[in-house]
Amino acid sequence: MRLLLAPMEGLLDHTLRDILTRVGGMDGCVSEFIRITGQLLPARVFTRIVPELRHGSRTPAGVLVRPQLLGSDPACMADNAAVLATLNPAGIDLNFGCPAKTVNQHRGGAVLLDEPELVGQIVAAVRRAVPAAIPVSAKMRLGNQCDTRTLECAQAIDEAGASELVVHARTRAHGYRPPAYWERVRDVRQAVTLPVIANGEIWSVQDALRCREVTGCDTLMIGRGMVRNPGLALAIVAADRSAMGLAPGLPGIAWADLLPLITDFWRLIARHVEPRHRSGRLKQWLNYLRRHYPEAEQVFTELRLTNDPARIALWLAAQPIPANEPALPS
């Protein structure tokens, strides 16, 4: 089983990608989307959003990162993809799944799934614009308001030359409400020739194993489940190896081992986030972590009303960090 870290706009940026891929278990990542409108973006915009491009398109832990583009104009998408290709990305992913109202109102993301022909044109234009050695993949939902055109969109992406397709097993109208309709991902997999990756509602090892069973997909993409439980990928890999009769490896990550990474996360955001926004970034992650770690609930309660970076830094400095923890990479 291969596991990929999902793009999550406003949450899973390069900082959190760095931290989560240090934990282990992930085989690759897709970045948050880079919005393509009517202009040609300079290379510095791509490297600002995906700084891993400066380091072989890998996180500091060595996990490949595939930048993601979002837009609706095939020619403009192709031109920007050509610029991005000069930075030697691990691949280029195309967003047909974002459910955000502001994005959809500007004809981007999941709303494009009402236009399978346009979806295919975008993929084909990008595929033609970049060297054959650079994979072009796509991520889609089951549809916009309904899933009646799911297979049309998937087949358009396939026929346009994409190398992989991630399917988030919900429509835009479903948002993030459970359940995820994994059986529809199976339908997509059976209707196309390219590899299909299942995404949606994978919160536990049991979810991952059942998703693979229902969809038939050997590669899964996980987003919120990894943010909530950074050891989830390790636990899934351990269960998968055990089922194959191999040494299972680590079952996850304990709070004591996660705490140094939370401290490193704070140090990293202090490098590029304004002081008034830093506490919000940390509490955003703690709000997810407290669903899995009781200790995080206590920390979140203690720091919830705090917006003073100095106080948070003092609190983190007082935590019992193991003496043999590696130094934060530069």
- What does the pLDDT look like over 248-257, one tens digit per residue? 666 789 999 9
pLDDT of residue 327: 42
Residue 181 sits in the same domain as residue 288: no
Record the tokens describing residue 209, joined without a space.
Answer: 């194993």
Residue 146 sits in the same domain as residue 212: yes
Question: What pLDDT, in 10s, does the model give residues 157-176?
Answer: 999 999 999 999 999 999 99
Query: Residue 45 domain-assigned?
Result: yes
Whether the ω angle into residue 179 lies within 30 degrees of 0, i.e. cis, is yes
pLDDT of residue 111 exceeding 50: yes
Give the residue from 247, 175, 236 showing the smallest Cα distance to 207.
236
Query: Residue 248 domain-assigned?
Result: no
Residue 15 sits in the same domain as residue 158: yes
**Helix (H/G/I), strand (E/B), else coil: 20:** helix
For residues 204-231, average pLDDT:
97
Residue 193 sits in the same domain as residue 265: no
Residue 27 sits in the same domain as residue 154: yes
Residue 76 sits in the same domain as residue 131: yes
pLDDT of residue 190: 97
326 pLDDT tier (thresholds 50, 70, 90): very low
Helices 309-317 and 255-272: angle between axes, nearest 10 degrees: 150
Beta bridge partners of 64: 58
pLDDT of residue 322 exceeding 60: no
DSSP string, 292-312: T-HHHHHHHHHHTT---HHHH
The alpha carbon of 72 is separated from its chain's Cα centroid by a whole number of angstroms, namely 21
Reply yes or no on whether 98 is catalytic. Answer: yes
Give the residue from 91, 136, 142, 70 showing the smallest Cα distance to 113.
142
Query: Residue 217 domain-assigned?
Result: yes
Residue 15 sits in the same domain as residue 96: yes
Query: Residue 322 domain-assigned?
Result: no
Residue 217 sits in the same domain as residue 307: no
In this structure, are residues 81 and 126 in contact, taking their beta carbons and an 8 Å threshold?
yes
pLDDT of residue 246 exceeding 80: no
pLDDT of residue 325 exceeding 70: no
Query: Residue 264 domain-assigned?
Result: yes
Determine which helix (DSSP H) or strand (DSSP E) holds 227, and give its type and residue range.
Answer: helix 224-228
* Active-site residue, from 76, 98, 153, 217: 98
pLDDT of residue 180: 97
Domain that holds residue 271: 255-317
Point out the domain boundary residue: 243, 277, 301. Answer: 243
Distance (Å, whole) CA 7 – CA 137? 13
Distance (Å, whole) CA 30 – CA 226? 14
The alpha carbon of 99 is separated from its chain's Cα centroid by a whole number of angstroms, namely 15
Residue 78 sits in the same domain as residue 111: yes
Half-sphere exposure of 143 (CA within 13 A, CB side): 12
Looking at residue 312, which CATH number applies to its domain?
A: 1.20.225.30
pLDDT of residue 126 exceeding 80: yes
pLDDT of residue 65: 98
For residues 214-241, average pLDDT:
96
What angle is formed at CA 324 by the lines to CA 322 and CA 327, rounded to 5 degrees? Answer: 100
Query: Residue 329 domain-assigned?
Result: no
Looking at residue 208, which CATH number applies to its domain?
A: 3.20.20.70
pLDDT of residue 96: 97
Query: Residue 23 domain-assigned?
Result: yes
pLDDT of residue 324 exceeding 60: no
Q: Where are the beta strands (DSSP E) in the chain?
A: 2-5, 28-35, 65-70, 92-96, 136-141, 164-168, 196-199, 219-222
Contacts (Cβ under 8 Å, ≥6 apart) of 285 = 11, 16, 227, 262, 265
pLDDT of residue 11 exceeding 80: yes
Question: What pLDDT, in 10s, does the model give residues 285-318?
Answer: 999 999 999 999 999 998 988 888 888 888 888 8
Distance (Å, whole) CA 66 – CA 80? 15
Residue 37 sits in the same domain as residue 160: yes
Residue 216 sits in the same domain as residue 262: no
Phi first, then psi, for residue 45 (nearest 5°) are: -70, -40
Contacts (Cβ under 8 Å, ≥6 apart) of 106 = 37
Point out the domain boundary residue: 243, 275, 307. Answer: 243
Beta bridge partners of 19: none
In this structure, are residues 108 and 71 in contact, taking their beta carbons and an 8 Å threshold?
yes
Placement of tokens 């390219």 in the chain: 194
What percent of the chain is predicted at pLDDT more than 90?
Answer: 82
pLDDT of residue 243: 78
What percent of the chain is predicted at pLDDT more than 70?
Answer: 95
Pairwise pLDDT comparison (102 vs 132), residue with the higher score: 132
For residues 55-67, average pLDDT:
98
Question: What pLDDT, in 10s, does the model give residues 257-269?
Answer: 999 999 999 999 9
Point out the domain boundary residue: 211, 243, 275. Answer: 243
**Domain total of the chain:** 2
Residue 94 sits in the same domain as residue 226: yes
321 pLDDT tier (thresholds 50, 70, 90): low
Query: Residue 70 domain-assigned?
Result: yes
pLDDT of residue 219 exceeding 50: yes
Distance (Å, whole) CA 117 – CA 120? 5
Which of 200-204, 217-221, 313-317 shows the lowest mean pLDDT across its residues? 313-317
